[in-house]
Structure formats: structure tokens, C-alpha cells
Amino acid sequence: MQFIHSAGLDDFYRLRQAPTGHRPGEGIAADPSAFADPAVAAQYLERDAAGVAHGSLALDGVGCAACAWVLEHGLVDMPGLRQVDVDLASGRLSASWEASDDVEAARGLTRLLSRINALGFDAVPAQPAHELALHAQQRRRSLTAIGIAGIGAMQVMMLAIADYAGLFSGMALDHRALLIWAQMVLTGVVVAFGARTFFRTAWQTLRAGRMGIDVPVSLAIGLGWGVSALVVLSGGISRGEHVYFDSVAMFTFFLLLGRHLEQSVRHRFARADAELDALLPAAVTRLDSDGGRQSVLPAQLRAGDRIEVPPGGIVAADGRVLEGLGEIDRAALTGESTPLPVAPGSEVPAGSRNGAARLRLEVLRPAANSALAAIPQLLARARARRPRSVHLADRVAGVIVIAVLLIAAVTALAWWFIDPARVLPVTLATLMVTCPCAFALATPVTLTAATLRLRRLGILLVDPTALERAQTLVAACFDKTGTLTEPGNLRCEAVVAGTEAECVNMAVALQQDVPHPLAAAFRRLPVSDRCELEHHRVAAGAGVEAFVNGQRWRLGRPDWAAGGGATSTHSDQPAVCEDGIWLTEAGVLRARFRFDALAGAGAPHGEGLRPGARETINRLKARGLDTAIISGDSSDRVRAVAEQLGITRWWAGVDPASKYRLLQETREQGGALYVGDGLNDAPALGGAGVAVAMASACDFTRSAADVIVLDDRLEAVVDLLEGADRTRRIIRQNLLWAISYNLLAMPLAVTGMIAPWAAALGMSASSLLVLGNAARLLRRDHRPHGAIAKARAWT
């Protein structure tokens, strides 16, 4: 491999000095000069105080590790460039360069774009609309390829079967020639249009001096068609020699199908920016100093502006409460469902949802600098730094390709001296026998089968390479809220007067239409009858009240519900306290509601262990993994959960950036699995060895994950690891078989002892064996599950 590497470096210098491959007009890449206007460029860039501009670009035509390598090394000497990282999974390039002002930043961006074009790739500054258009175009391209390969392969197969039937029942030579010529033309179409993507990637890989699985794939397809065409053109049909057009067409079709599946899952979860923008309100009410109100875009807010957030509204920018007593819900940010009480002076983060009160805030920093806006940037950088995982097949590919070509050359040379008349048939047979078809199929087909199998278990594999990374994992870390725990169930206890059903009915009626997570917990209670209420009103930070037949009913904090007086002014009083939530009629206690809390000291309110959490942790421990909790929550709550689950290592009060760092540190030992669901988990997912998101996570967080658990079943994590073990085992078996078959058959072919029909049979059998072995992953287990329908709905 050493000489490939050195050849690669030479290639790289050649590449850098004489950029080729620019295909103007192809693709939808924008003209770099369109971004020369500082105002336009500024929309896509962020410039920090140190005079460094950061930009993120969506890439097209980057399909392998080698392309990423070419890009990074082709750009590295751009003047002023600080750093460039290519993230293959999302097709993104992130770069930073020195720029003291917007004009310079824009100039850097145009320079970057023209360089990328010169290297033969298309790029646009990442913005949702552009990126989606790029994805749609990629999807159309891959669909066209699949359609051509599929229709073509079916037709070729039909002709081939007629040909095989003729071998047994006899067929006129000219009829056979007709069938084979037809196959040749149709397979030619499949190869030229369907397999183009393999050739293109292989060429880019080779030009970078690297090897990838696409090189043997292209070699197999090219050789299969080329050798068969040579047989036809040299009059091999009349000598009864064999052709391989059917294998080539089917092979191309299978590979394209696998790639398309992988690509469509990836695209589905790559709409990160668009989704994050949707977390913020489209317009905000700004209060002007003269008392006027104005509706503005969140982006127009400046530090010091005063804004008003209506009940149930989303906070658009980090701010400090000026007026209003209420609660905010940070569920979208942290997965934490218990609301946080706020009062004048409290800080509220952008993206949190206001409770029932009307809040007036002073904006602390512009929306673009909020903690919320920092998360995607943090994630983008985390992902770009992630070490590229290289398939085992990619590493062996180079040796195989060189071996095949070398052996063919030596064979041809040897036969030139032995018997010049047999040079062509023997060399062709050798090429066919050593053709790495089975080898090229081994990994992708197995990964496709594994993806389908896991999907049946309710696990969506966004990045199949995660299965290979799973091998080295040393630890499994969990977010607490929403991952190990779920919102607890309310229980009605201590009914002082009346029946339980009456009290529940009343409580649910009181909480109807109240925009508060606690109210949502009440609405999950079973109702037997509807209650008619009058003067329904929400008392911020205290509870809800209404009148029934002239009697005042209250549901909320005990002191407020029991006392007849006005709304309490205690701002630090939590919404749910130790005494539970009281339901009172005219100040008299009727019933108490309480969450099914965790047993043990410091039990969190309104939070229960997710079913299967304990079993999952035990099974992970049995696999020899360290388990840990990394949570943004307070330490006594985290400790309570950790003690319940027997987890000895936990971190509490960790911010997103530190979560990322903690996971990054485990990387040298082999990486950690991370399971999370909050927006604040996104960077941590980017830093994890294998990143798992729960389906309940927001789209943005899911976009950061390698794996998504569709039905929020925590045991899926163990299923994933077990599936990964099996997949790796099968990949290894397949590669071993493919290589040993080629090694065994090779001496026979080289010595001219193998008959053409035997070579064809051997090659097909070898490929089929690989397919069949991979299909073992699809065998149905007896597992009662509703995940199948759900999984279908997702893809």
C-alpha cells in the first residue's frame, strides 16, 4: 500500500497545479461570483471577533473518503485559510479563513468556491433551499441510474435465459449470436448510463491516489462487459465461448439499489438547518421605547431590545425577564419536560416555550448569537472533525485491483511465449475468474441487508459505517431526560371528598386548553365525564381555577389552592412541590395529584424510568461496556436515576459543548455510544463513536445521529450492537470467501485449464454465495413488534 500512497502524493501535486475536471454548467452549483457581494455572502457566513470567517458548503460529487481527501488537500494552501474539514456523511464542507471585514470574507468565499470547482466538485454555500435542491438532483440522478439498470438488467436476463435454454435444447448458431448481440447492446446501455457513478467515483479516487471500493466495482463492471464484448467481437460465439453480460447487468443493478437506499435515508435526515429555523417564531413583537409595538423578524432583534412573548409563544432570542411571572418549557432544548419557573430577572433561552403568562423580555444577545443558534455550528464542527471510518473492503480493495491486473499481465506475457494463439482466450478467462465481483458485492450487500434487518427491529440506520465503528466501542453514555427517563404518570391520591372519578374529571376539565406540559400530563388521565366550567382562568406560577355552580375550584400549588387569596408572588416556588398538586373546592382539599416518582432519595418529579432502561443497562454492562449518564440536569436528579440503574459514572449540569468534549475524550480508546434526544445532545452525538437518537427527538437532533430508534424502545440500543456484531461477522466471511475463491480459481485459469463455462459458473456461484450469506441477516426472528409499520412510514 505504501507505493499507492506515494503515488497519491504525486497525483495530489499534479492535481493542485493543473486543476482539471471542471464541468461548467453541469450540476446546480452557483457561479462563485454570485457570492462576491459582501451582503449576499454575509448571509452564509459567520465572522468571529478574532477576524476569522466560518462557512459551510453543501457538496455534490463527493461520494467517498478519497474525494474528501482531494478536497481537503487541494484547498489547504489557499491563502488565509485556517481550517477546512469535509464531512462525508452530510456532504458538507466547513472552512474558516481570515477576514477582517465582510468584503474580505466574501472574497474568501468566492475563492473557496472557484477552487472547489477547479478540483472537479460542485459546491454551494449551505442554505436549506439550495441544499434540498441539490439532494433532489442527486436523487433524480440515482433514480435514473437505477431505472436504466433495472429495466436493462431484466431484459438482458430474459435474453440470457433463452440463451441458456438453447445450450440444452440446441439452438442455431446465428440465433444464439443474435441473442448475445442484443445482450451486448443492452448491457452496454446499462454500463454506460447506470454504472457511470461508479466509474466517476473510482476515477476521482484514483486521481487522488487512493483506493476505494468503487475501484474494484468499476473494474468488475468494466472487465465483465469488456471481456465479453471482446469474446463476441473476436468470434468467440462460434467457438462456444461464454459471455457475462447478464452478471454485469444484475451486479450493477444490485449495487445501485443499495446505494440509493443509503442515500435516501441520509437525505431524509440532513435537513438540519431548515428544521432548526422552524424552532423559532417567524415574527416577534418588539416594544419600542415610545410605547409602540412592532412586529419584526427574530434576525432583526438587537441586544437591549424589549420584546413581548405571548402565552404559549416561543422565545425568539436569549433574554432576561422584565415583567411577568410564569414558567417556561425547555423540552425542545433539553428534553426536560418539567417547566422552569421564571420571574423578573431570570434568564430565558431562545427556543423555549412560554407558559401561560405574558412575558416581557430584554434581549440579551441577537438571535444569531443565542445558545440555540450555536448548537448547529457546534455540531457542524464536531461532525467535520469526526475521523473518517474506512470500510475493511476499502482497505483491501487496492491490493485486489493491483493483483488482478498484475496476474492478467503476467498470464498474457507467459502465454505469448507458450502459445500465442491462446493468449486472448486464456487472458480473458483469467480476468473473468479473478474479477472481483463477489468481493465488490461483499460489503455493500451485507450492509444493505443489515439496514433492512435493523429497520424491522425499529432501528433506522442512517450511516451504515456505524456498524463497523461499533466494534471498538468502550462505553455507552446516555442523556437522562427523555432517554433513560420519560415524563411520569400522574396519580390521583388521597381523595378527601367525593369519588376519584369525579376529581379526575374536574382536574382534566380544568387543565383543558392550558398550554403547559403539566396540563398535558393531566390530559393523559382517563376521563369518564365532561364538566362544565365558568370563568376558567390560569394563575401564572400557581395553577388553574374555574367556577362550577358558583363554587370556586382550584388546581395547583397547595398553598395557593387552599388559600382563598390572590396569586402568590413567590417566584421561586416550583410548579410541582413535595405535597403534590391540590384540587380544592372553595379552599377545601378534595384530591391530591402526584407523579409516579422514582423511589429513593431526591427523586425527580414528574419523571419515571423508561421501560426497559434497567435491562438495557444490564445487557450493555454484560457486553463489557462502561455505562455513564451525561446530563444537563441538576446533580441530585441525575444521581437518583444513576442509583436506580446501577450506573456509577455520571456527570450533571453539562452544557452541550462539554458533552461533546467528554465524548471526544473517549475517542482514543475506541469511542463511546451516545444515546440522546434533546437539542442540546446534538453536538454530543456529533462527537460520539456511534450516535443514537430517539425518535421523539427533534429533527435537528436526529440529523446528527447515525442511528435512530423509531419506537423509542431503549433496548434497541442492545439490538443495534448485536446486529452490528453479526453484520461484521458476515462481512468478514464474505470477504474471506470472495478472496479465497479468486485465489483458488486463479491458478487453474492462468494455466488455461478452466473451461469458459466453468469460469462463468464459478463467478456467478461466488456472487450468489455472497448474496445468500448476506440474506441470512434478513431471516425473520420471532419478535413481537409494531415497529415494522412505523418503519415503513418513515422511509
Partner 1 sequence: MDVIWLLIPLSMVLVLLALRAFVWAVRTRQFDDLDREAARILFEDPKREARPEDMRSGEQRHD
Nearer to partner 1, 40 or 171 (CB): 171
**Amino acid residing at 572:** D
Residue 608 sits in the site that holds partner 1 (CB under 8 A) = no
Contact pick of 16, 22, 130, 139 for partner 1 (by CB under 8 A): 139
Residue 160 CB, shortest distance to partner 1, in Å, is 13
Burial of 399 (C-beta count, 10 Å sphere; 0-12/13-18/19+): middle
Residue 776 sits in the site that holds partner 1 (CB under 8 A) = no
Determine the interface stretch with partner 1 among 5-13, 136-144, 444-452, 595-603 (rule: CB under 8 A): 136-144
Q: What character string, x for contact with partner 1 (CB under 8 A) and - otherwise, covers 153-172?
A: --x---x------------x
Residue 144 CB, shortest distance to partner 1, in Å, is 5
Determine the interface stretch with partner 1 among 146-154, 579-587, 653-661, 742-750 (rule: CB under 8 A): 146-154
Residue 96 makes CB contacts below 8 A (sequence gap 6+) with 52, 53, 54, 55, 81, 82, 83, 84
Residue 152 sits in the site that holds partner 1 (CB under 8 A) = yes
Residue 173 CB, shortest distance to partner 1, in Å, is 13
| Alpha carbon separation from 14 to 8, 119, 124, 209, 347 (Å, rounded) | 10, 11, 25, 11, 56
92-98/284-287 β-pairing: unpaired
First to last CA, the chain: 40
Residue 237 CB, shortest distance to partner 1, in Å, is 15
Residue 141 makes CB contacts below 8 A (sequence gap 6+) with 197
293-296/353-354 β-pairing: unpaired
Nearer to partner 1, 252 or 411 (CB): 252
Nearer to partner 1, 144 or 669 (CB): 144
Residue 540 CB, shortest distance to partner 1, in Å, is 40
Residue 136 sits in the site that holds partner 1 (CB under 8 A) = yes
Please name which of 66, 74, 90 lies closest in space to residue 214, comparing C-alpha atoms: 66
Determine the interface stretch with partner 1 among 60-68, 132-140, 298-306, 536-544 (rule: CB under 8 A): 132-140
Contact pick of 6, 33, 100, 144 for partner 1 (by CB under 8 A): 144
Determine the interface stretch with partner 1 among 182-190, 461-469, 531-539, 600-608 (rule: CB under 8 A): 182-190
Residue 188 sits in the site that holds partner 1 (CB under 8 A) = no
Contact pick of 81, 103, 151, 589 for partner 1 (by CB under 8 A): 151
Contact 449, 777 (CB under 8 A): yes
Residue 774 sits in the site that holds partner 1 (CB under 8 A) = no
Determine the interface stretch with partner 1 among 144-152, 303-311, 385-393, 418-426 (rule: CB under 8 A): 144-152
Residue 479 bears catalytic tag: yes
* Backbone torsions φ then ψ of 114, nearest 5 degrees: -70, -35
Footprint on residues 568-597 left by partner 1 (CB under 8 A): none
Contact pick of 116, 186, 393, 475 for partner 1 (by CB under 8 A): 186
Contact pick of 129, 143, 192, 406 for partner 1 (by CB under 8 A): 143
Give the whole-angstrom CA distance, residue 611 versus residue 380. 33
Determine the interface stretch with partner 1 among 47-55, 174-182, 351-359, 756-764 (rule: CB under 8 A): 174-182
Give the whole-angstrom CA distance, residue 795 versus residue 793. 6
Contact pick of 165, 185, 282, 283 for partner 1 (by CB under 8 A): 185
**Catalytic entry in 85, 329, 394, 479:** 479
Q: Which set of grid coordinates corresponds to residue 602?
A: 431526591
Residue 481 makes CB contacts below 8 A (sequence gap 6+) with 334, 335, 336, 337, 607, 631, 632, 633, 677, 678
Give the whole-angstrom CA distance, residue 60 versus residue 271. 16
Residue 789 sits in the site that holds partner 1 (CB under 8 A) = no
Contact pick of 4, 30, 42, 182 for partner 1 (by CB under 8 A): 182
Nearer to partner 1, 156 or 380 (CB): 156
Give the whole-angstrom CA distance, residue 728 versus residue 393. 11
Give the whole-angstrom CA distance, residue 617 versus residue 623. 10
Residue 36 sits in the site that holds partner 1 (CB under 8 A) = no
Neighbours of 566 (CB within 10 A): 9
Give the whole-angstrom CA distance, residue 706 versus residue 99. 34
Nearer to partner 1, 186 or 672 (CB): 186
Nearer to partner 1, 271 or 659 (CB): 271
Give the whole-angstrom CA distance, residue 450 versus residue 323. 55
Residue 177 sits in the site that holds partner 1 (CB under 8 A) = no
Contact pick of 5, 23, 82, 175 for partner 1 (by CB under 8 A): 175
Residue 147 CB, shortest distance to partner 1, in Å, is 5
The DSSP symbol for 588 reads: E
Q: Which set of grid coordinates corresponds to residue 211?
A: 483506493
Give the whole-angstrom CA distance, residue 315 versus residue 597. 30
Please name which of 558, 563, 566, 549 lies closest in space to residue 506, comparing C-alpha atoms: 549
Total chain residues near partner 1 (CB under 8 A): 19
Sign of CA dihedral 151, 154, 155, 157: positive
Determine the interface stretch with partner 1 among 55-63, 109-117, 139-147, 216-224 (rule: CB under 8 A): 139-147
Contact pick of 42, 177, 189, 527 for partner 1 (by CB under 8 A): 189
Q: Which residues bind partner 1 (CB under 8 A)?
A: 136, 139-140, 143-144, 147-148, 151-152, 155, 159, 172, 175, 178-179, 182, 185-186, 189
Catalytic sites, residue numbers: 479
